[in-house]
Structure 1
């Protein structure tokens, strides 16, 4: 149990929300427009039949790092208060109109401590997406995202979806489904992932996206605990920090 608590405090749970680079396909640069049309032709199971070039851009571009952007990064970590026997989950969301500034701020947090990163489907989406956008924006990759040349056991990445697969590599499970089976409150109160692009570009409501992102981080953390039943989370307290970076300033 002591080892579990020691590692738990080193895990940084995270979730990212992304949107298309531009609101309209026509606002993309000419070269990116050409590349998107080629990408569009490869998208399977669209059920659209013959489609007009660029017609899938608004709904699909945000999930591709070459045509999308990170609009916020939610993070959280646990602190165990041994005296009070209380597990505190502290969280924060990074956001900035300038994506590069957002990524620089997030990167500085990753350099403060030897974090283990954890996200749902993080190995296939969050971690590579962040890495690609950092390189595109000219932000040096922080150590936890530097995986080139490392042996598998040297990469400090956890993925709740991978943990739930138990080796069944064709098994995909939504975070919401895991929350449902474990009795964890939903993060989809007033927003769903499919609505983020419209909320960002059309509603201009970044605050709504940030709240949704933080809820996803908390759900991911609770799912991780649920898959480690030796821990009793009845005394879990959630705290949102104004500046999580100061908590780990050396």
Structure 2
């Protein structure tokens, strides 16, 4: 589905992503983990067209999208749930959700997606006319994911979906991601909660200072003593 080859990205004159290559197959959840500043969010923004690559290549279904504008990226079915949710706090839940479908032309499909989102997030269904800024952090994250789903994504990019959430709400969010995988949605997940990311994903890329240091099947990585010590605090039993 998506392939990245030798991607380099700069902020001003500083290169923050160095020759990163990764691929995502249809139906997979692929995780990227690493410390702050590892380049994870930068890679997502570059896939989305919000940042431009210095060099390298990004393809979707073998079509080069490296320098395609962000709204065209969305039309291709690549939709991002941004770090910090970035919902429209003064608008209602319903208005936020409907904005997620602004590029969709098929009204019946939009309505089906709307009902699907409300089935996934019944708490949003109960509060459609409520102002989004009055929601809790976890509820706002659900709204951000729901808004992205309104765009009918083929590839869902998730940037730190558990950031700032309670353990219970984090579990709720990851339960939703499991359901989305069952529904056939492909995902690229950036997450500092390394254990949960490894536990839910099929494959994982571990980044350090803009470089892919380790990659492999998540189940194998989560059982590796070296990975446990370096990235999971050595406290988890798989």
What TM-score does the superposition give when structure 2 sets the normalisation length? 0.30
Counting strand residues as a fraction of each chain, which structure ranks higher?
Answer: 2
Greater C-alpha radius of gyration: 1
